[in-house]
Amino acid sequence: MLGTEVLDHTKKPKPDLSLHRVCKGKNDIALQLPELKKLLEVLKRKRESCCGNDGDGEKCGPGNVFLVGTGPGDPELLTLKAVKLVQKADVLLYDRLVSNDVLEMVGPDARLLYVGKTAGYHSRTQEEIHELLLSFAEAGATVVRLKGGDPLVFGRGGEEIDFLQQQGIQVKVVPGITSASGIAAELGIPLTHRGVANSVRFLTGHSRKGGTDPLFVAENAADPDSTLLMQHGLPANTPAAAVERGTTPQQRMVFAELNDLADKVAQEELVSPTLIIIGKVVALSPLWPLSSKEASCLMEAV
């Protein structure tokens, strides 16, 4: 299954600590971008002044990187750990799925860097993000990498951990509420329910090559007793919901049976990020079987 492929850490190479703290001149990105360079210099100066000439190793070593899950959007779904880190970070890197409400919690002296993909903006590659995280950690900063939902659910968090650990940088992960459970809760859909759904699967609609290679969804993913986030061959009348920007004030959604879902999503012009929940449990939502229009009016009025 795709999800397993994305999350497979079994091939993780052992961290190579021999690279630890070798000054590698890895600031290529910063050199390309003056404002980042300036920021790195400020951080280095701050560290030098607090270390002094004979500063102790620990204080003057690299900073930490925290991979922090911010949940699906509603800031009240942040963990206390996430709030504390967001408020104390020196530098925060965030992407498209992190809501503005969460960004408003950032401390006044912290620097926020957008590293997501939005039409019209330069989008950073995963490698560039790795280098940025490394550069800031090497400059001694407390670096927070914010990720929507949970950082280790389709978030490429594992790749960032791998890379940084190989460079000798300590990475700590703060889990977040994954959009699947956050949105299911919002809609009153139990992801599992005795006698209705005895398992739940999280599947991605994105392939590794960015959508060019064929998606493979295992046939057993079409188990009628499971709750799915992506389907392959389930009965046409299986209840389903699609939710755009779930748990935020901009939330929009449609409910439909599977055979009508694509049409209704197109009709309502739902765009990314949209989560699809498929399974008999969807019909347990207090909002089912309202028509899509009524449902979205209801939610918009909240």
Q: Which residues pair with 113 in a beta bridge?
A: 93
Residue 169 in contact with residue 176, Cβ under 8 Å?
no
Q: Is 246 in the site for ligand SAH (CB under 6 A)?
A: yes
Residue of the chain from 73, 140, 168, 175 that contacts ligand SAH (CB under 6 A)? 73
Kindly indicate which of the ranges 53-61, 133-141, 175-183, 185-193 contains the residues binding ligand SAH, using the contact rule CB under 6 A.
175-183
Kindly indicate which of the ranges 27-35, 118-126, 163-171, 245-253 contains the residues binding ligand SAH, using the contact rule CB under 6 A.
245-253
Q: Is 243 in the site for ligand SAH (CB under 6 A)?
A: yes
Q: Is 149 in the site for ligand SAH (CB under 6 A)?
A: yes
Kindly indicate which of the ranges 9-17, 21-29, 53-61, 145-153 contains the residues binding ligand SAH, using the contact rule CB under 6 A.
145-153
Q: Is 227 in the site for ligand SAH (CB under 6 A)?
A: no
Residue of the chain from 72, 175, 239, 279 that contacts ligand SAH (CB under 6 A)? 72
| Beta carbon of residue 43, minimum distance to ligand SAH (angstroms, whole number) | 28
Of 250-279, binders to ligand SAH (CB under 6 A) are 272-275
Kindly indicate which of the ranges 106-114, 120-128, 147-155, 209-217 contains the residues binding ligand SAH, using the contact rule CB under 6 A.
147-155
- Tell me the per-residue interface mask from 179 to 198 with ligand SAH, x by CB under 6 A, - otherwise: x---x---------------
Kindly indicate which of the ranges 40-48, 110-118, 127-135, 178-186 contains the residues binding ligand SAH, using the contact rule CB under 6 A.
178-186
Closest to ligand SAH by CB, 90 vs 150, is: 150
Closest to ligand SAH by CB, 237 vs 272, is: 272
3-state secondary structure the chain: CHHHHHHCCCCCCCCCHHHCCCCCCCCHHHHHCHHHHHHHHHHHHHHHHHHCCCCCHHHHCCCCEEEEECECCCHHHCCHHHHHHHHHCCEEEECCCCCHHHHCCCCCCCEEEECCCCCCCCCCCHHHHHHHHHHHHHCCCCEEEEECECCCCCCCHHHHHHHHHHCCCCEEEECCCCHHHHHHHHHCCCCCECCCECEEECCCCCCCCCCCCCCCCCHHHHCCCEEECCCCCCCCCCEEEEEECCCCCCCEEEEEEHHHHHHHHHHHCCCCCEEEEECHHHHHCCCCCCCHHHHHHHHHHC
Residue 178 in contact with residue 204, Cβ under 8 Å?
no
Residue of the chain from 62, 155, 168, 279 that contacts ligand SAH (CB under 6 A)? 155
β-bridge pairing 252-257 and 239-244: antiparallel
User: Which residue of the chain is nearest ligand SAH when measured via CB?
Assistant: 149
Kindly list the residues in this chain that would bind ligand SAH in the complex (CB under 6 A): 72-73, 97, 147-150, 153-155, 178-179, 183, 243-247, 272-275
